[in-house]
Amino acid sequence: MSADYMIEDQIIENYIIQALAEDVGSGDHTSNACIDDGSISSARLLVKDVGVIAGVELARRIFKHVDPNGTFTGKIEDGRDVDYGDIAFLVTCNTRALLLAERLVLNSMQRMSGIATLSSRFAVEVEGLPVKILDTRKTTPLIRFIEKWAVSIGGCTNYRNGLYDWIMIKDNHVDACGSHAKAITRVHEYLERNHLDLGITVEVRNLVELHEVIKTGRITRIMLDNFELPLLKEAVATIRRRFETEASGGITLQNVRSYAETGVDFISVGALTHSSGTLDLSLKVV
C-alpha cells in the first residue's frame, strides 16, 4: 500500500468480511447452482477509462481472503497512470470464490481509482509550489480509510483521520462557545487536563476574526475559509508565518494554483472524496 497512508491489517480484513457478508448473505446461489465447487478460473482486471489506478493491493487482499490458494499477479502498481485497454492484474483461483469477490473488488477499485485520479490532477496543478493539498472528513461513512488511502495514492495528503487526532475549532464551535479567544483557552485547558498533545487549527471567516486569533495565539494553524484571492493574499501576509496557513472553500482544479500562489501552506479540498466520481473497470474471466 502507499507508504504515506498506513492501515492496520485488521481494519482491511474487517472491511472485507463485512462487505462480503453484506453482498453474499445466505449464499451466492447463482454461482453455487452454475459452477462446480472445484472449478478453477482465471480473470483479468480491464481498465476502460483514463486515469490513475488505485486498489490493486486491496484487490489482492480480497482474493487472498476468498481463496488462500489462488494466485494474484499485479501488472500495474497503485498510483500509476492507466489508459483504456490496460490490464491491472491477473488472478487465478476457485471460480466460485472469484465470482464471490468480483463486485467487491470492482466497487472498491472504481471508487478508489476515481479519488486517486482527481487527487492526482490537483497535485499536478500545484506542482513546483511549496503547498500541500489536504483531504477532509467529507468521506463516505465506514469506508473513510479506503477513500483516504486513495487520496494518498493519488499524490495528495491525508489530514485528520477523525475527530480524535487533531483539534479543529470551526465556526460552529466559536459561535457556540462565544469567541475565538474563549474557544482556544478552553481547548488548552482540556488538552492539559486530559494529557493530550494535539495540533490546533482555528477557522476564521474574515480579517477581524484573524486579528483576534493572531492576538490570542497558542495555535498551530489558521484556516482561512472562503477568502477571495486578494483577501487571502493579505491574510497570509498578515500572519507572516507565525502560524501555519490553510485555505479552504470553493477551491477547484481551475483555481487551485491561484490559491497556492498566495503563499498558503495547505489547501483543503473536500471534493477529493465527495465529488470524485469513479473509474470504469471490469473483471473478465479468460
The residue count of the chain comes to 286
Neighbours of 254 (CB within 10 A): 8
Give CA–CA dist 241/239, Å, rounded: 6
Q: Are strands 281-285 and 87-94 parallel, antiparallel or unpaired?
A: unpaired
d(CA 209, CA 201): 14
Coil, strand or helix: which one is 56? helix
CA distance 101 to 15: 13
Q: What is the DSSP letter of 130?
A: S
The catalytic site residues sit at 103, 138, 170, 203, 225
Neighbours of 150 (CB within 10 A): 33
Contact, 82 vs 53, CB < 8 A?
Answer: yes
- Going from the C-alpha of 112 to that of each of 92, 131, 254, the distances in angstroms are 23, 23, 22
